[in-house]
Structure 1
């Protein structure tokens, strides 16, 4: 069922502008776009909204590797100054992975930023962290993620935000939802998250993002262990090295879409965002 504020086929839409802030998840890694760019769930969501609002504008300030204090200091004030109708705000995942990080302290910082965005007149979408139970070496973080998530639910209630519960998206427990590094979503994973956000905004139904995956053959135990070892060697070890050196994948990068600009409307016969994929 669609929201009463959304009338398909008319120009009535509550949100005419969207700013996305965050890290690699919101930038769109690993959902390849033209050239060296990424698409991602936020771009897909903006395309869906723009299909119904010809004057819709969109900015994406997210940069891979950013920690929550950097997002709050560098992106949130700019987002508020643009005065969009809607802001998506996801951050803290990189911080949680740092040894000895404190999810309670992170949530306190997060809440101040949400309060600032709401004071600027923006509707805000926030996200829980993913459930890491199916990812080797990250399972030990589940407790910290759960504590952080509980704070985010409280923040969402206090500030009347739209909540996207990534933890409960069991379709994301399938490896096909993730890219080779198992830290970033695949194109299909991004598509499903975009539709899940649309659901939180009242613009989609559960069946669109929660459709079962096609049957797939399970790899043999030894093959899975070899894949896990290769993943740790090629992706986890380099990430730990950057962390210890105080480096980030986003060092020196600028936001891919720093201004609120119109985006092309999606043709009526090419709504690939909402088509089910095999």
Structure 2
């Protein structure tokens, strides 16, 4: 993880978040049924130290890298923000059929358009939950992350290494859908980005897993497997078979770069 070691706190006045469900904030659920997530938490902390701080979150669940480039990148580039975060391509990599060459090309296009348009572009090596899904798709993920590193070096972007953080591989920090982080997981991501941007750490152990707990028994694991299959896996397969996405028809929760005044 690249870290700004300057002792003077950054003077960021605006943040734009670009991406998919990870950046939208699933599954950091608020009481009103909306999602918060690491980007909102980061904006809240940045706003607390900068009067008039502005924030936009263009991320929408289910978006592929082609959709992110088509629907979000141009809008973000036109906002003239101090900081832009870009996380995308993992939805593509997790699909049974994926042209990784095309994914790399689209990610390159996104970075080439965003990097000159902001004060600081932030990229990420996304976290992966321990388990068979991670092991199956690990080669694709690492190919994607190698591209992220290369683009960051070429265009002066920062990289937040969430993939290499033991805490974010811990299944206890993932929701029952096994695809999205819990509230605690999002808090740790926000801390990681906060530190990478050069702010004073508030949690130096964000990358350390929670204290060990007794693992669930056989029965509890089977009940969890059945619940996961019925509530999340089968609907996901159904969307793939019919060409639908969980983000179809959904608008960004913060489409304009406006002063941050709390959860949307």
TM-score by length of 1: 0.86
Q: Relative to structure 1, is the Cα distance of residues 34 and 222 closer, same or farther in structure 2, using a 3 angstrom cutoff?
A: closer
Q: Relative to structure 1, is the Cα distance of residues 179 and 97 closer, same or farther in structure 2, using a 3 angstrom cutoff?
A: same
Partner of 1:119: 116
CA displacement 1:34-61 (0-9 Å, x = unmatched): 5231110000001111111012100001
Q: Relative to structure 1, is the Cα distance of residues 58 and 82 closer, same or farther in structure 2, using a 3 angstrom cutoff?
A: same
**RMSD of the TM alignment (CA)?**
2.0
Secondary structure in structure 2 of the residue aligned to 1:82: coil
Deviation at 1:6, TM superposition (A): 3.9
Q: Give the alignment partner of residue 4 of structure 1, picking from 3, 6, 29.
A: 6
> For residues 36 and 21 of structure 2, what CA distance do their matches in structure 1 show?
11
CA displacement 1:242-273 (0-9 Å, x = unmatched): 012111111111110111111248xxxxxxxx
Partner of 2:156: 160
Structure 1 runs of 4+ off > 3 angstroms?
A: none
CA displacement 1:161-216 (0-9 Å, x = unmatched): 01011210110122221111110110000000000111211214462413441331
Secondary structure in structure 2 of the residue aligned to 1:110: helix
Q: Relative to structure 1, is the Cα distance of residues 137 and 168 closer, same or farther in structure 2, using a 3 angstrom cutoff?
A: closer
Deviation at 1:64, TM superposition (A): 0.6
> For residues 81 and 131 of structure 1, what CA distance do their matches in structure 2 show?
32
Partner of 1:58: 55
Given that 2:19 and 2:87 are in contact with CA atoms closer than 8 Å, whether structure 1 keeps it comes out as yes
Partner of 2:27: 30
Partner of 2:173: 177
> For residues 62 and 52 of structure 1, what CA distance do their matches in structure 2 show?
24
Given that 1:61 and 1:258 are in contact with CA atoms closer than 8 Å, whether structure 2 keeps it comes out as yes
> For residues 25 and 84 of structure 1, what CA distance do their matches in structure 2 show?
21
State how many pairs are aligned: 259
Name whichever of 216-225 and 141-150 sits farther off.
216-225
> For residues 14 and 106 of structure 1, what CA distance do their matches in structure 2 show?
33
Partner of 1:276: none
CA displacement 1:117-175 (0-9 Å, x = unmatched): 1222441111113334x133442101111111111111111111010112101101222
Q: Relative to structure 1, is the Cα distance of residues 48 and 137 closer, same or farther in structure 2, using a 3 angstrom cutoff?
A: same
Q: Does 1:83 align with 2:80?
A: yes
Deviation at 1:225, TM superposition (A): 4.2
Partner of 1:109: 106
Unaligned runs of 5+ in 2: none
Unaligned runs of 5+ in 1: 8-12, 266-278
Matches for 1:215-234 after TM superposition, within 5 Å: 215-221=212-218, 223-234=220-231
Q: Give the alignment partner of residue 259 of structure 1, picking from 244, 256, 259.
A: 256
